[in-house]
Amino acid sequence: MSSRVLVTGGAGFIGSHLVDRLACDGHDVAVLDNLSTGRRENLADAGNRVDFIEGDIRDLEAVRSAAEGVDVVFHQAALPSVPRSIQAPADSHAVNATGTLNVLIAARDAGVRRVIYASSSSVYGDSPELPKREGMATAPLSPYAVSKLTAELYCRVFTHVYALETVALRYFNVFGPRQDPNSAYAAVIPKFAGVLIEGGVPRIDGDGEQTRSFAFVQDVVDANVRAATAEGAPGESFNIAGTERISINELDRTLRDLVPNASTEPAVHGDPRPGDVRHSYADLSKARDLLGYDARTPFNEGLRKTVEWLSAR
């Protein structure tokens, strides 16, 4: 059944893919985005099926207006990046924590049925225990991680106190087309691929043996759609990740195989990043059981699609 839905940060990387899916599924889609990192061209595929609202989640009245008549809010808007949060912790808190509180207040007051919140695997910190399970103690290592966990806790409280259904999805290193390779805070896959496409060599922070569970963006979109209707999901947090554990050195090697005429010079290694997590690997049992989620896109297939998109830009 179609309904009106709101995607905050809907002009961004993940948000725009989610908008495409929701519009394709027949929903009336509103997007709230301040275009600080999002781009209007990311919404080109959705065309006139989207009601675009330029506004900021730090502005409660703007969020209230956008939430009117909405059934589900997909809250993707955030100020990403661990390094950026270390440089400007107040900015991360204002957007990620206070901004999310504004979304929850507006959703509660507008009678929204459910809010799907984009949380982060960074909330686990650097515990040596693998795989990461939702019931583990959280131990954030950066202001970004603190802000995402704070917002997640607000979600649970709003479910408990106000009976607003909320679901937190803890994303593990999402990648895919539309992810900006040129930002100073670019994620590792578009950053490395962009450098290799231009004939350069990647710079790896640390020894490169740190590992990640990369999640292809279309699988993350599927998790959001499932979370909007899953019966046992409200008040819960879920890991959303790939099934493979990939080291950064392995990522470098795989990208070189996919990028035509990539340099054969070895990557340059630098110091580890402050606040970075050594190993990140997800247990997906809870998401499988309650959401019906699984990572259906093999890592190499998702990587190939990403390289193709970056090469065509």
Catalytic-role residue among 144, 171, 281, 293 = 144
With vertex at residue 159, the alpha carbon angle to CA 157 and CA 164, rounded to the nearest 5 degrees, is 130
Question: 3-state SS string over the chain?
Answer: CCCEEEEECCCCHHHHHHHHHHHHCCCEEEEEECCCCCCHHHHCCCHHHEEEEECCCCCHHHHHHHHCCCCEEEECCCCCCHHHHHHCHHHHHHHHHHHHHHHHHHHHHHCCCEEEEEEEHHHHCCCCCCCECCCCCCCCCCHHHHHHHHHHHHHHHHHHHHCCEEEEEEECCEECCCCCCCCCCCCHHHHHHHHHHCCCCCEEECCCCCEECCEEHHHHHHHHHHHCCCCCCCCEEEEECCCCCEEHHHHHHHHHHHCCCCCCCCCEEECCCCCCCCECCECCHHHHHHHCCCCCCCHHHHHHHHHHHHHHC
Question: Which residues, listed in sequence order, are joined to residue 80 by a DSSP beta bridge?
Answer: none
Active site residue 117: no
Active-site residue set: 144
